[in-house]
Chain A
Amino acid sequence: MRETVEISLQVNERAQSLRIEPRETLADVLRDRLGLTGTKVSCDAQVCGACTVLVDGRTVSACTFLAVDADGGAVRTVEGLARDGVLTPLQQAFIDEAAFQCGFCTPGMLMAATALLEENPHPTEDEVKEGLDGNLCRCTGYAPIVAAVLRAAEAGR
C-alpha cells in the first residue's frame, strides 16, 4: 500500500476532504479525483501555463504544484468562473474576440488573466502581454487574447 495523507481544501467554493498520495499534483487531484477536467496539462513542467489555477488568489501551475501544498487553501479553476450559467466578462470577451482556437490553453489562460485583472483592473496592452507571458498559446498568435483581456477590463471584468 502506498502512503496516503488527508487534505481539506475549498475548490470553487465547495469544501473537499480527500485522501491522496503525497506525490499527487493538484492537477491530478482536480482532474482524476474531482472530475474537474477543465484544467489541462500540456508541458507537465511549469513552462506553458495550460494548467494554471488560482490557490488563495495566486496563480500556480497545477501540473507541478503538489496537492498537499493546497491543504487548507482555496482553489479556483475554470469551472468556477461562470456562475449559474452566466459567463464572466472575461469569458464573454474570449468568445467575442475569438481568443482561442483549439481551446487547450484557454482554461489556464482565463485563470491567469482573471488573476491579472484582479490585481490590475485596467492594464495597458504591454501589462497584459507581460502578465500573461508565462502562458503559451500555439493557435491564436496571441493578438486576440490581448484584445479579449483589454475588452474585459473595459467591461469591468
Chain B
Amino acid sequence: MKRVIERGPAPEPIGISVPRRDGIEKVTGAASFTTDLTLPGLAHARLLRSPYAHARIRSIDAEAARRHPGVIAVVTAADLPGVQLEYGHAVADHPLIATGKVRFAGEVVVGVVAEDAATADEALRLIEVDYDPLPYATTVEEALAPGAPVLHEKAGRQGAHRGFEEDITRDHPNVCSTFRQAWGEIEDAFTGAHLVLEGTWHYPMCYAFAMEPYTSVAEWKDGELTVWSSAQHPYMVRDDLAHVFHLPLSAVRVIVPYVGGGYGSKSYTKIEPLTAALALKAGRPVRLALNVDDAILTTRGDGATVQLRSAFDRDGRLLGRQATVRLDSGAYAENSPLVGRKAANRLGGPYRIPALEVTCQVVYTNTAPASSFRGFGAPQVVFAAESQMDEAAEALGLDPLEIRRRNLVERGERPWPKVRGLDAKLADDLALAAAELDWSTPPAPGVGRAVCVSASDAGSEPVTTATLRVHPDGSVTVLCGSTEIGQGSATALAQIAAGEMGVPLEKVRLVQSDTAAVTYDRSTGASRTTTLMGLAIRNAARDVKAQLLEWARESWAGEDAPEPVLEHAGIRVGDRLAGWGEVVRAWFAGDYGEAIGRGYLRKAGETAEMPPFWEVGCVGVEVRVDESTGEIHVEKLVTIGDVGCAVNPQLAEAQDVGAAIMGLGMAMREELIYEDGNLVNGNLYDYRVPRFTDLPELRTVLVERGDGVGVYGAKGGGEGALNPVASAIANAVRRATGARLREAPFTPERVWEALRERDAANGR
C-alpha cells in the first residue's frame, strides 16, 4: 500500500493501523453472531415459500402440520389479526407473510414453529396450499408491456418515509416510483453538439452473499419485544417493529451481535417482523435462521437497463447528458426507490455537465425484491457513463485520461446545483491510478488498460448520536448505534474516541448496536460510519470536556486558585495537569460517579449541506483477452482510496480491496437468472462469486488530503472502489481487442459474441 498524505496531523491513535479490536475473538471462534445465540425455551422456525411467481392463494390447509408432534405454532396471515402486516422503508407494500396473493417464487406463505428445525421441516411437508396461478412478469420489459399483469392492485402506502424528499409516484401500475433529475437546457446541448453518442447498457441483478444468512431471534416478555438480528440498522428495524406491532419505540429492543457480512444487503428490515410474529403466536422465543438459498430470495441488488445519450463539443467537453434508467426492483419496493434516486444522481457526477436530464423508473417485477447493495445505484449507471466517456475519447482521438481531465469537476465545485461541492481532487487521483499502470508506456499487443472514476453522493442522512462516559479512573465507555459488520467500526470508532479524549486506546470501550442501551444512529451504510459517527463521538468528547472544565472550576474554586484550562488530555490547574478521572472524582467527592458526554449530529452546521460527503471511486485495470475462448484475464487492478483521513490505514485499504474484488465479481460472473418465473441459479453452486484464484495483482494507493467533513478531514470509503470496476474492464477489453461490452457480467460467451460483432463491423 502506498500513501499520499496531504493533511494536517491527527492525535494518535487516529491515523495508525492498530490491530482490529475484534481480532482475537474472530480468530479463536469466540466471536458471537446472531446464529450462535441460544435462549432458554428457544423454538425454531421454518418457512413455506411459494413455488409460483404470481398467484392467488385460494386456501391453506395446515391442520396436519398443526397436529404434528413437536409443532408449537403454524402461522399464516390469517392468524395475525391486529398485526400491521405491511411494512416497508419507502412504500409500505411488503406483507411480512403473504396476504391472499404471492408476487414472486419464494415468497413466504406459512411459518412453522417447532421444538427443533427438523420437526418444523417435517411439518412444512404436511401443509397444502391451493394456488390460482396468474400471468407473471419477471423482466422490466414484460412488466411495462401493454396488458402486463399488475403486481400491486392498489398503490402502497407511503412507508416509513425516512429520508425521502419526494412523493412516491406511480405513472404505471407496475412502476413503483419515478425519479427525475434535471438541470440546464438539454435541447440546446444536443443541438449545438459536435459529437452525440448513444447506447444502452445492462447491469445484472446480483446477490450480496453475506456469508451469514439472515438470522433473527425474537422474544416477547410482558408485551415488550426483544429481537436479536443480523441487521445493519438496528434503529430502523426497531421503528418498523414498533409500527407492525403497534408498540411504543421504547418497548422494542433490537440487539445486533457481530454481523457476518452486510454490504447493504442487511440494511433495513428483513425477517425481523416475521420472527416476532412467529414468537408472538408460539408464546416462546423463536429463532429464524435462513440458509443461503433462502437469503437469495430475501434481498438482491437492482438489475438495470441504462439508455444513455451524451453530447460533446469538439474538444471532448460534455455539453449534456440524457438518460433513462429502469431498475428491475422485484416484487416489493424495499429500498429501491432510494436506489433509483441515487442512480439518477450518480449519473450527474463527477463531471461538469451543463445540462442533464435523467429519468429513473423503479419497476415491480415478479422476482425476489431488490434493495440496497454496495454501491447503491452507482455500479449500474457508472458502467454506462464511464463506458461512454471512453467511446467519446475514441471518437475524438483523445486519450481516455485526457477527456476525463477536461470534464472533471474541481475540488469545491458543485457537481450540480444545491449540493455540497466535491471534496476530492479527482484529476490527481486519476493521475495516480494511471501511474500505477505505467500509462505512458504502451501496453503489449493484446493487452488493454483503462482508468475510470465515479462520485457518489454518500453518507445518507447525517442523523446520529453518541454517548461518551468518563469513569473515575479516567477510562471511557462510548455508546453508539453503529454496527460492526466487518468494516472495522469497532476499531476505528474507538480510535477516534481515544484520539479525541487523549486517552490510551486500551482505556476505551465501545458498546454498539443495542437500541435499549446505546443512543440513536440512523444507519450503518452509505460509507457513513467513520465520518458521521466519528463526528458524533467527537461532539460527545467536546461536550464531556466542557462539563469537566465546569466541574474543575466548581471543585477547585478558591480565591487564589488558578483558572482551570482545558487541554487535549486533561485540565491544567496551575502547573498540574488533572486527568479526566481526577476531575470526576473531585466533583463527586469520592472514587465514584461518571461524566456523560452527548454527541448530536443533524442536518445543520457542518453537515447541513447534502450529501455529507462525496464518495469517490477511482480504479485502473489491465486486462488480456483470450480471443479463442472469450475469457478475460484481469491482470492488474489498481484502486485509489481517497478517504480524506485514514483513521486506520490498514482497514481503509481493506475496504478498498474488498470493494474492488466484489466489483470484479459482478463485472465478470455474478448474475441472478430467472427462467419461467423461477430463479434458476439461486444457490452458490450456480451463482459464482470471486475465489482466491480469481485474484489479480492488486495495488492500492491511500490518499489523505483532509478534505472530508469528518474528523481530521475523513470521509467515507468502502463502496467507491466497486463502482467503476465494470466500466474499467469493459474499456480495457475494448482497447485490447476492439470489442465493446455493454452487458455485464462479461461471461466468455458475451465476450465471444462481442468479438464476433467486432469482426462483422470490420467486414471480417
Contact = CB atoms under 8 A, between A and B. Distances in A.
B39 to A, nearest CB: 14
Nearest to B491: A98
Given A79-B29, A91-B28, A42 B213 contact: yes
A42 B689 CA distance: 14
Interface string A60-81: 0000000000000000011101
Contacts of A140: 654, 657-658, 661
Contacts of B291: 43-44
B665 to A, nearest CB: 9
A9 interface: no
B26 A103 contact: yes
A62 B148 CA distance: 47
A36 B212 CA distance: 17
Given A140-B658, A142-B695, A144-B657, A42 B212 contact: yes
Interface string A33-49: 00011111111110110
B488 A141 contact: no
A78 B30 CA distance: 9
Contact of B651 (A87, A98, A143): A98
B259 interface: yes
Given A42-B213, A47-B684, A144-B654, A95 B19 contact: yes
B750 to A, nearest CB: 24
Interface of A is mostly: loop
B27 interface: yes
A132 B28 contact: no
Given A140-B658, A141-B658, A101 B486 contact: yes
A106 to B, nearest CB: 5
Interface string B699-721: 00000000000000000000000
Given A101-B487, A104-B212, A139 B695 contact: no
Given A129-B692, A141-B658, A141-B662, A47 B485 contact: no
Interface string A76-100: 0111011000010001001110101
Interface in A95-148: 95-96, 98, 100-107, 110, 128-130, 132-133, 135-146
A150 interface: no
A138 B691 contact: no
Size bracket of the A interface: 35 or more
B685 A47 contact: yes
A63 B569 CA distance: 51
A54 interface: no
A153 interface: no
B27 A101 contact: no
A31 B36 CA distance: 8
A82 B28 contact: yes
A77 B29 CA distance: 9
A139 B658 contact: yes
- Among B208, B691, B692, max chain A CB count under 10 A is at B692
B662 A133 contact: no
Given A43-B684, A45-B684, A140-B658, A102 B258 contact: yes
- Among A43, A48, A94, A146, max chain B CB count under 10 A is at A43
B210 interface: yes
B292 interface: yes
A125 to B, nearest CB: 9
A42 B292 contact: yes
B23 interface: yes
Contacts of B689: 136, 138
A19 interface: no
Contacts of A106: 26-27
Contacts of B262: 102
B203 interface: no
Interface of B is mostly: loop
B27 A102 contact: no
A135 B693 CA distance: 11
Contact of B27 (A37, A91, A128, A130): A91
B658 A43 contact: no
A37 B692 contact: no
B738 interface: no
B661 A142 contact: yes
B698 A104 contact: no
B658 A98 contact: no
Interface string B409-435: 000000000000000000000000000
A78 B29 contact: yes
B118 interface: yes
Contacts of B261: 101-102, 104, 138-139
- Among B654, B689, B690, max chain A CB count under 10 A is at B654
- Among A39, A103, A104, max chain B CB count under 10 A is at A103
Contacts of A101: 261, 486-488, 654, 658
B29 A38 contact: yes
Contacts of B693: 129-130, 133
Interface string B475-511: 0000000000111100000000000000000000000
Interface in A11-43: 21, 23, 31, 36-43
Contacts of B698: 141, 143
Contact of A141 (B30, B32, B651, B657): B657
Nearest to B685: A47
Nearest to B657: A141
A145 B654 CA distance: 11
B565 interface: no
A102 B657 contact: no
B31 interface: yes
A37 B28 CA distance: 11
B695 A138 contact: no
Contact of A39 (B27, B29, B654, B691): B29
A94 B27 contact: yes
Contact of B210 (A128, A133, A138, A143): A138
Contacts of B210: 102, 104, 138
Given A103-B22, A106-B27, A107-B29, A141 B695 contact: yes
A50 interface: yes
B260 interface: yes
B314 to A, nearest CB: 41
A40 to B, nearest CB: 7
Interface string B1-42: 000000000000000000110111111111111011000000
Contact of B211 (A21, A136, A144, A145): A136
Interface in B444-484: none
A43 B292 contact: yes
A123 to B, nearest CB: 12
Nearest to A38: B29
- Among B485, B487, B685, B695, max chain A CB count under 10 A is at B695
B660 A141 contact: yes
A50 B689 CA distance: 14
Interface string B648-666: 0011001001111110000
- Among A38, A50, A81, A146, max chain B CB count under 10 A is at A38
A22 B27 CA distance: 31
B36 to A, nearest CB: 4
A132 B692 CA distance: 7
B136 interface: no
A51 to B, nearest CB: 11
Contact of B684 (A37, A40, A48, A96): A48
Contacts of A45: 292, 683-685
B634 to A, nearest CB: 12
B529 to A, nearest CB: 13
6 contacts: A38-B29, A42-B212, A48-B292, A48-B684, A139-B658, A141-B698
Interface of B: 19-20, 22-33, 35-36, 118, 208-213, 258-263, 291-293, 485-488, 650-651, 654, 657-662, 683-685, 689-693, 695, 698
Interface of A: 21, 23, 31, 36-45, 47-48, 50, 77-79, 81-82, 87, 91, 94-96, 98, 100-107, 110, 128-130, 132-133, 135-146
Given A95-B19, A143-B698, 13 more contacts: A37-B35, A45-B685, A79-B29, A102-B258, A102-B262, A104-B261, A106-B27, A136-B209, A138-B263, A140-B658, A141-B658, A141-B660, A143-B695
